């Protein structure tokens, strides 16, 4: 009984739904506010993302006549479930120490694909030509960044001596070495593309596609997508912190340092978002496969050499 | 070539023109009958190498006018071919879209609003009037006091 | 007021529809997002799909070609929503009164779809961005 209650608490309150949603909506406000300040504007007030979600919950839900109803409604639910589970697994490994299991980094990588897959399914069930173009672009983008993401995690696994559990991996700080730094930068860009921010927001390209993938969603379903997007803004930087930056400690000072690292990653995301234009899908694929792939192959070679010869900073 | 050479080269088509008006230094109006407008436009576009800018249709009370504006970019001169269509019942002129594809849409617009028929136009469809606008009603023609539109 | 009404007041997302305008009103609407006027302070966001919108900013006198499209966009907007008629042409046909292509001002066309539609008028040719902001804020405070 105690175990079930604890698991339910983990999933629903901390570090699950309530914590991730709250922190995520705060993070999305931070992104909008800092972007506004960079553009010499004032930006939205603090509770704006909360009011956005609340307003969307009170609007009517319109479903297109030719849409596949079950997939249309099920897709945002699947996406929310995926990101919820992802943040729970990461948060439990981060804050409740010793609760991670061997191989959970592979589970994390699989869970990270789930929201993108649900987005593709939901938008292709929309029966709309704009959504169809957005779906094609999103599919190609996912094909593009999944490979560098997995290669970057392989670099980390090599550097941590073959450990496959999140707790073991987050003991080290791979970013302090050359191969780790390369892998960190590439992984940061993959995360950026997964969240769907400029320069990789071609799936929801507002001026070109009129909202692209999410065009036919309204009301409560759109609120679910926005919530998923906000929660990804917590889960994915937390993944970077755990895997590359040395994780979150258990003492009060360690937790504070961990949150600082999280804020650092979010600030990097905001900086990349505000200084770049949107790229075309073929440019994005070329970038991920050729440039990031080459960089990561070099990083893997350096990491393996560092492991064999015992040089830490390679 | 400069402006004087330009004016001189217009003497080659002197027979097709009624007159050449120059309002200011940079605007030349070549007035001609509607039958000759095609040959004059061909000369200006191909031989003189001017760039087609746009076209205008005017309902002057005694005749319809179709003006084709060409720009001579080297001197900054605008040459306008002013074609007079004397037949007010069935106004018709040879289309220049046959050798200037860029003129296709403006001729469709002139046909929609003024009712001028462009012979041998490659693609004469409705352009800017609404889909349910009745055929044969041309809104921009001058009306007498008793006539209404549609 | 209820929490739902308050939420719509706090975060009105707008969708812009041009039903045959000369584009001056459209330029003034896009001005609103620039740093000088910055409507994001009020939570206003320009969205790309009418299904995401709470307010329709309609410019232009409604031409015969645009009228069925405007009705369709209104039907696609998730209710509850407000229609803003921006500019003299949208409020009452402006200088195009009795033109051959004019079907009617915006409120006549919207009321054919939904007689109980909430319509707000921001006159001007074009209305200054300050006037548009003032109109939007006033209409939302009445909601």
Give the chains touching A; criterion: ≥3 Cβ pairs < 8 Å. C
In the block, tokens 């994390």 appear at A108
Partners of residue A47 in chain C, C-beta under 8 Å: 10
Flag if C35 and A41 touch (Cβ within 8 Å). yes
* Phi–psi pair at B68, nearest 5 degrees: -105, 125
3-state secondary structure chain B: CCHHHHHHHHHHHHHHEEEEEECCCCEEEEEEECCCHHHHHHHHHHHCCCEEEEEEEEEECCEEEEEEEEEECCCCEEEEEEEEECCCCCCEEECCCCCCHHHHHHHHHHHHHHCCEEECCCCCCCCCCCCCCCCCCCCCCCCCCCCCCC
User: DSSP readout, A242-305?
Assistant: HHTS----SSHHHHHHHHHHHHHHHHHHHHHHHT-PPPPHHHHHHIIIIIIHHHHHHHHHHHHH
Tell me whether C97 touches chain B (CB under 8 Å): no
Residue spans of the domains in chain B: they are 3-92
Best of A50, A52, A59, A274 to substitute, by most chain C Cβ atoms within 10 angstroms, is A59
Residue B142: pLDDT over 90: no
- The closest of C108, C98, C7, C6 to C58, measured between CA atoms, is C108
| Of the partner residues B131, B132, B139, the one whose CB lies closest to the CB of residue C100 | B139
Tell me whether C64 touches chain B (CB under 8 Å): yes
Residue C94: pLDDT over 70: yes
Cα atoms in the 13 Å half-sphere on the side-chain side of A264: 10
Per the structure, the count of domains in chain A is 1
Kindly tell me the sign of the dihedral angle through the C-alpha atoms of B93, B97, B103, B109: positive
pLDDT of residue B145: 64
Residue A223: pLDDT over 90: yes
CATH 3.30.460.80 correct for B3-92: yes
Whether residue A130 is contained in a domain is answered as: yes
- To the nearest whole Å, the CA of B146 is away from the closest chain C CA by 16
* Phi–psi pair at C59, nearest 5 degrees: -115, 160
Whether residue A227 is contained in a domain is answered as: yes
With residue B78 as reference, give the H or E element that holds it: strand B77-85
- To the nearest whole Å, the CA of B130 is away from the closest chain C CA by 5
pTM of the shown model: 0.86
Asked if residue B22 lies in contact with residue B28, where contact means CB atoms within 8 angstroms, the answer is: yes
Highest mean pLDDT range out of A9-23, B107-121, B132-146? Answer: B107-121
pLDDT of residue A46: 92
Mean pLDDT of B77-96: 92
Flag if B130 and C100 touch (Cβ within 8 Å). no
Distance between CA atoms of A42 and A40, rounded to whole angstroms?
Answer: 7
Asked if residue A20 lies in contact with residue A87, where contact means CB atoms within 8 angstroms, the answer is: yes
- Give the pLDDT confidence of A87-137 residue by residue, as tens digits: 988 888 887 766 667 778 888 999 999 999 999 999 899 888 888 888 888
Tell me whether A103 touches chain C (CB under 8 Å): no
Tell me whether A55 touches chain C (CB under 8 Å): yes
With residue A51 as reference, give the H or E element that holds it: helix A48-57
Partners of residue C65 in chain B, C-beta under 8 Å: 129-131
Whether residue A279 is contained in a domain is answered as: yes
Query: What's the Cα-to-Cα distance from C8 to each of A47, A57, A228, B63, C142, rounded to whole Å?
Result: 14, 10, 21, 60, 12
Flag if B132 and C101 touch (Cβ within 8 Å). no
Asked if residue C61 lies in contact with residue C90, where contact means CB atoms within 8 angstroms, the answer is: yes
Flag if C78 and A43 touch (Cβ within 8 Å). no
Partners of residue C63 in chain B, C-beta under 8 Å: 130
Q: Please report which confidence band the pLDDT of residue B148 belongs to, taking 50, 70 and 90 as the band edges.
A: low
- The closest of C91, C58, C2 to A57, measured between CA atoms, is C2
Helices (H), A160-250: 166-169, 178-195, 206-209, 219-243
Collapsing DSSP to helix, strand or coil, A29 comes out as helix
Distance between CA atoms of A143 and C93, rounded to whole angstroms?
Answer: 51
Whether residue A135 is contained in a domain is answered as: yes
Q: What is the mean pLDDT of chain A?
A: 88
Partners of residue C11 in chain A, C-beta under 8 Å: 48, 51-52, 55
Whether residue A41 is contained in a domain is answered as: yes
Burial class (CB in 10 A: 0-12, 13-18, 19+), C112: middle
Burial class (CB in 10 A: 0-12, 13-18, 19+), A303: buried
pLDDT of residue B10: 86
Residue B41: pLDDT over 70: yes
Flag if A36 and C7 touch (Cβ within 8 Å). no
The domains found in chain C, sorted by start residue, are: 3-137 (3.40.50.12280)
Give the chains touching C; criterion: ≥3 Cβ pairs < 8 Å. A, B
Asked if residue A113 lies in contact with residue A142, where contact means CB atoms within 8 angstroms, the answer is: yes
Flag if C100 and B132 touch (Cβ within 8 Å). no
DSSP summary character for residue C121? E
pLDDT of residue A97: 67
Collapsing DSSP to helix, strand or coil, C72 comes out as helix
In the block, tokens 């997007």 appear at A229
Burial class (CB in 10 A: 0-12, 13-18, 19+), C12: buried
In the block, tokens 């409560």 appear at A220
With residue B56 as reference, give the H or E element that holds it: strand B51-60
Whether residue A314 is contained in a domain is answered as: no
- Give the pLDDT confidence of A125-172 residue by residue, as tens digits: 988 888 888 888 899 999 999 999 999 999 988 888 887 888 778 878
Whether residue A141 is contained in a domain is answered as: yes
Whether residue A117 is contained in a domain is answered as: yes
Kindly tell me the sign of the dihedral angle through the C-alpha atoms of A87, A88, A91, A93: negative
Burial class (CB in 10 A: 0-12, 13-18, 19+), C67: buried
Query: What's the Cα-to-Cα distance from C24 to each of A113, C21, C79, rounded to whole Å?
Result: 45, 8, 28
- Give the pLDDT confidence of C22-77 residue by residue, as tens digits: 999 999 998 888 888 888 888 888 888 899 998 999 999 999 999 999 999 999 99
Best of B112, B113, B126, B130 to substitute, by most chain C Cβ atoms within 10 angstroms, is B130
pLDDT of residue B15: 85
Cis bond upstream, residue B19 (ω within 30): no
Q: Please report which confidence band the pLDDT of residue A301 belongs to, taking 50, 70 and 90 as the band edges.
A: very high
User: DSSP readout, A112-138?
Assistant: HHHHHHHHHHHHHTT--HHHHHHHHHH
Structure tokens at C84: 């803003």
Distance between CA atoms of A34 and A43, rounded to whole angstroms?
Answer: 8
Distance between CA atoms of B119 and B37, rounded to whole angstroms?
Answer: 12
Q: Please report which confidence band the pLDDT of residue B146 belongs to, taking 50, 70 and 90 as the band edges.
A: low
Flag if C63 and B131 touch (Cβ within 8 Å). no
Q: Identify the closest residue of chain C to A52 by CA–CA distance.
A: C11
Q: Please report which confidence band the pLDDT of residue B149 belongs to, taking 50, 70 and 90 as the band edges.
A: low
Domain of residue A96 covers 2-309
Query: What's the Cα-to-Cα distance from C114 to each of A59, C43, C81, rounded to whole Å?
Result: 17, 27, 11
Residue B52: pLDDT over 60: yes
Q: Please report which confidence band the pLDDT of residue A309 belongs to, taking 50, 70 and 90 as the band edges.
A: confident
Partners of residue B133 in chain C, C-beta under 8 Å: 64
Residue A259: pLDDT over 70: yes
Q: How many CB atoms lie within 10 A of CB A78?
A: 18
With residue C17 as reference, give the H or E element that holds it: strand C13-18
């Amino acid at each position: 009984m105690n175990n079930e209650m604890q698991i339910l608490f983990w999933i629903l309150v901390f570090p699950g739904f309530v914590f991730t949603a709250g922190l995520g909506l705060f993070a999305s406000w931070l992104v909008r506010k800092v972007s506004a300040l960079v553009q010499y504007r004032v930006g939205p007030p603090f509770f704006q993302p909360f009011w956005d979600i609340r307003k969307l919950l009170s609007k009517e839900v319109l479903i297109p006549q030719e849409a596949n109803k079950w997939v249309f409604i099920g897709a945002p639910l699947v996406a929310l479930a995926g990101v919820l589970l992802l943040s729970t697994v990461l948060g439990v490994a981060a804050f409740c120490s010793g609760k991670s299991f061997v191989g959970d980094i592979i589970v994390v990588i699989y869970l990270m694909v789930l929201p993108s897959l649900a987005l593709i399914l939901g938008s292709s069930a929309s029966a709309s030509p704009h959504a169809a173009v957005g779906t094609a672009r999103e599919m190609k983008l996912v094909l593009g960044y999944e490979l560098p993401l997995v290669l970057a995690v392989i670099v980390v696994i090599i550097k941590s001596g073959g450990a496959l559990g999140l707790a073991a991996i987050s003991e080290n700080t791979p970013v302090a070495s050359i191969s780790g730094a390369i892998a960190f930068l590439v992984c940061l860009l993959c995360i950026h593309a997964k969240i769907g921010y400029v320069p990789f927001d071609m799936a929801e390209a507002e001026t070109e596609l009129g909202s692209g993938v999410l065009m036919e969603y309204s009301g409560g379903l759109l609120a679910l997508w926005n919530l998923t997007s906000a929660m990804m803004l917590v889960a994915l930087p937390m993944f970077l912190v755990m895997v590359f930056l040395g994780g979150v400690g258990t003492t009060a000072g360690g937790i504070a340092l961990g949150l600082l690292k999280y804020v650092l990653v979010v600030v990097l995301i905001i900086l990349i978002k505000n200084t770049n234009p949107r790229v075309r899908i073929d440019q994005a694929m070329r970038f991920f496969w050729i440039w990031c792939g080459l960089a990561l192959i070099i990083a893997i070679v350096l990491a393996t050499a560092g492991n064999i010869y015992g040089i830490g900073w390679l | 070539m400069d402006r004087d050479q330009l004016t001189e080269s217009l003497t080659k088509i002197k027979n097709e023109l009624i007159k050449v008006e120059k309002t200011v230094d940079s605007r030349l109006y070549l007035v001609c009958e509607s039958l000759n407008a095609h040959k004059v436009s061909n000369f200006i576009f191909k031989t003189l190498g001017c760039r087609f800018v746009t076209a205008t249709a005017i309902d002057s009370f005694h005749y319809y006018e179709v003006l084709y504006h060409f720009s001579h970019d080297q001197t900054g001169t605008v040459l306008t071919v002013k074609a007079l269509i004397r037949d007010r019942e069935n106004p018709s002129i040879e289309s220049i879209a046959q050798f200037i594809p860029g003129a296709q849409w403006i001729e469709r617009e002139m046909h929609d609003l003024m009712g001028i028929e462009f012979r041998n136009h490659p693609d004469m469809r409705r352009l800017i009037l609404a889909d349910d606008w009745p055929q044969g009603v041309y809104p921009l023609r001058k009306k007498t006091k008793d006539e209404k539109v549609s | 007021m209820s929490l739902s009404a308050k939420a719509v007041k706090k975060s009105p997302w707008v969708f812009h529809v041009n039903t045959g305008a000369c584009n001056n009103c459209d330029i003034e609407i896009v001005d609103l997002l620039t740093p000088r006027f910055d409507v994001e302070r009020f939570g206003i966001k320009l969205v790309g799909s009418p299904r995401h919108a709470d307010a329709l900013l309609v410019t232009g006198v409604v031409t015969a070609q645009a009228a069925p499209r405007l009705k369709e966009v209104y039907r696609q907007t998730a209710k509850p929503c407000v229609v803003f008629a921006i500019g003299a042409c949208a409020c009452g046909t402006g200088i195009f009164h009795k033109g051959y292509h004019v079907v009617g001002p915006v409120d006549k066309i919207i009321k054919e779809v939904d007689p109980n539609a909430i319509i707000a008028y921001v006159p001007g040719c074009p209305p200054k961005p300050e006037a548009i902001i003032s109109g939007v804020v006033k209409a939302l405070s009445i909601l």
